[in-house]
Amino acid sequence: MQRIRLRYTKRGRLRFTSHRDFQRAFERALRRAEVPMAYSAGFTPHPKVSYANAAPTGTGSEAEYLEIALTEQRDPDKLRELIDASLPADLDVIEAVEARTPHLAERLTASVWELRMPGVTAADAERAATAFRAADAVEVQRRTKSGMRTFDARAAVVDLTVRDTAATGSDGGNTVADRPGDQPCAILRLVVRHVTPAVRPDDVLSGIRAVADLAPPVPVAVTRLAQGPFDEETGTVTDPLAPDREAVTAAPAEGQGAAGLAAAAAAAPEGSA
């Protein structure tokens, strides 16, 4: 059984789709692309797809991950192209790699988020971010299946910085504003650890409102830019697929080395050491 790990995006209006909606769309894409999927056993077999830490409904993402199991070997790059062509626009599979290492989900320990705040100046956002960073704890409430829950939104936040841009399109090539216009648009760049209970961007916004009385006049556009292992030394979120790519690269070199040794042994005269 071959396992392939995919990185996909959720952009534009499709950021409003739920995770269940994406699951249905992805499974239909697998059928259209004629991917030789492995299926579970039992009365209702379903394709073996493992989703890892999906973004909340209403947020965009440039870094969602999943893993599929195949019954036949396939080239990851060609498979990526087939699946991507079978998905709706704005759901894009942008990377595929063969799984050579275990526990992808356990590597997703932090995320980088971008929060666009139309109608908020950079100065006001900086004041709010400074107040949030200075707080020892910021308690917020969120409604869960078991009722309202209070937790600290500050402890999980590794970094919170502010950039300024007019909401007129690209912010440097990474993302595009959802609401173009001439109004000011502060951008918060947020790095948050994945803890329990999970601290989401809207929790941080609730915390900012609590400590700095800052509430954007219109809904904030939230996009996940990256997720993966958190590097304590650099304070950055690194690529979770890097170990798989390195293992794939190393494997041919090791095989060539073994083949070279075998060829040398076959060519050596009998009795030579």
Q: Where are the domains of the chain?
A: 2-106, 108-231
Q: Which CATH class is domain 108-231?
A: alpha beta
> Using 50, 70 and 90 to split pLDDT, how confident is the model at 164?
low
pLDDT given at position 145: 81
Task: Report the distance separating Cα 168 and Cα 131, nearest Å.
Answer: 28
Which helix H or strand E contains 185, and what residues bound it? strand 184-193
Looking up tokens 């590794």 gives: 158
| Domain 2-106 identical in fold to domain 108-231 | yes
- Percent of the chain whose predicted confidence (pLDDT) is above 90: 77
Bridge partners (DSSP) of residue 190 are: 113, 160
Residue 39 has pLDDT above 50, yes or no: yes
The tokens for 257 are 């080395």
Residue 267 has pLDDT above 50, yes or no: no
To the question of domain 2-106 being in CATH 3.30.70.580, the answer is yes
Residues in contact with 133: Cβ distance below 8 Å, sequence separation at least 6, in sequence order:
157, 160
- Comparing CA positions, the residue from 3, 151, 124 lying closest to residue 67 is 3
pTM comes to 0.84
